[in-house]
Amino acid sequence: MIRYSANITIMMAAARKASKSILRDFGELEKLQVSIKGQNDFVTMADIKAQEIIHYELSRARENYGFLMEEGNNKSSINDNEFTWIIDPIDGTLNFMNGIPYFGISIALNQKDKLIAGLVYDPVHNDFYWAEEGTGAYLNDQRLRVTNKSTLDKSVIALGIPFLGRGDHKQHIRSQEAVMSKVAGLRRFGAASLDLAYVAAGKVDGFWEYGLSPWDVAAGIILVKEAGGLASGIDNIENPLLTGNIVAGNVNIVKELQNILNS
Ligand code: IPD
Ligand code: CA
């Protein structure tokens, strides 16, 4: 039987509370006709409500911790406080608003210059992916390991695809074309934090995306590392938490992907 640390217990409780509001709103969205699903105000409200719940629960439990969160303009930097919560209340908002059940709540805890805990909660499946520095990565009570494939040809790789003028579309097409000829399959699921949790859980062998935000990747980075994998910058020197360019998987898969993406 797993003993959850105080931090993980707090993070799980906050995510569970927020998920009640998120799932109620998801239920409402599922009932809407497809033509009126892109209800941006409704979705923005769902994000804000969830973030407020998480913020309230975490600040009640831990005083003087900073917050770096997706919604709103009140963002502290991870250097402002010794401890900072990094939060995405609904990662995979586009899926959420279209009734696609692939989205997550992402909460990480950063101390000075390192991530010390991470949680990605998939509320539709009631799955907690969590990790703490030095104690491993878990899906609920089950220990996680990244896969041990040594080459790409049998690998399933998740990726992010730039959209709506964001990112370098031409470069992405070139990268995707180069990778797709070498792998068993590519998957674009639509929630980077959960994609990284899937890498940690060995559901996919790797993941890459450019231009993400700290709240998309923070929890996933520690999950992958504690599952025995690498979550690295695409050019290997950059810190993915700071640049948002990330490649993850076991060491071999990360190296193979880096070679292709940098060539
Ligand atoms: C998005 C998701 C998506 C990724 C985007 C992110 P959001 O986060 O993680 O998978 O491709 O770049 O912005 O907007 O749904 O919280
Ligand atoms: Ca996000």
Which H/E stretch holds residue 105? Answer: strand 104-111
Q: What is the pLDDT of residue 35?
A: 55
Q: What is the pLDDT of residue 237?
A: 87
Classify 152-261 by CATH class: alpha beta
Task: Determine which residue's CA is closest to atom 11 belonging to ligand 1.
Answer: 160
The whole-angstrom distance between residue 65's C-alpha and the CA centroid of its chain comes to: 21
Q: What is the pLDDT of residue 240?
A: 97
* Plot region of 72 (φ>0 → left; ψ -120 to 50 → alpha; else → beta): left
Ligand 1 pocket, 192 CB below 6 A?
yes
Ligand 1 pocket, 159 CB below 6 A?
no
Q: Domain limits of the chain?
A: 6-143, 152-261
Number of the ligand closest to the Cα of 209: 1
- Report pLDDT digits (tens) over 69-90: 988 766 678 888 999 999 999 9
Ion ligand 2 neighbours, Cβ < 5 Å: 88, 91, 216
Cβ burial 71-102 (10 Å sphere, 16+ → b, else e): beeebeebeebeebbbbbbbbbbebbbeebeb
Tell how far the Cα of 207 is from the centroid of ligand 1, in angstroms: 14
| Burial environment of residue 113 by CB neighbours within 10 A (0 to 12, 13 to 18, 19 or more) | exposed
Ligand 1 pocket, 191 CB below 6 A?
yes
Which H/E stretch holds residue 84? Answer: strand 83-91
Query: Among the atoms of ligand 1, which is closest to the Cα of residue 166?
Result: 12
Q: What is the pLDDT of residue 33?
A: 59
Q: How many CB atoms lie within 10 A of CB 202?
A: 18
Q: What is the pLDDT of residue 96?
A: 92
Cβ atoms of 215 and 190 closer than 8 Å: no
Residue 236: phi and psi, rounded to 5, are: 80, -25
Topology of 6-143 in CATH? Answer: Fructose-1,6-Bisphosphatase; Chain A, domain 1 (3.30.540)
Q: What is the pLDDT of residue 36?
A: 57
Determine the Cα–Cα distance for residues 67 and 34; give it in Å rounded to an integer: 35
Place of tokens 């805890």: 109
Beta strand 142-143 with 156-159: parallel, antiparallel or unpaired? Answer: unpaired
Q: What is the pLDDT of residue 20?
A: 97
pLDDT per position in the chain (263 positions), as tens? 788 999 999 999 999 999 999 999 998 887 765 555 456 666 778 899 999 999 999 999 999 999 999 887 666 788 889 999 999 999 999 999 888 999 999 999 999 989 999 999 999 999 999 999 999 999 999 999 999 999 999 999 999 999 987 889 999 999 999 999 999 999 999 999 999 999 999 999 999 999 999 999 999 999 999 999 999 999 988 999 999 999 999 999 999 999 999 99
User: Quick one: tokens of 150?
Assistant: 């040594």
User: Nearest to residue 49, comparing CAs of 66, 26, 31, 83?
Assistant: 26
Q: What is the pLDDT of residue 73?
A: 67
Question: Amino acid letter at 162?
Answer: P
Number of the ligand closest to the Cα of 164: 1
Cβ atoms of 261 and 247 closer than 8 Å: yes
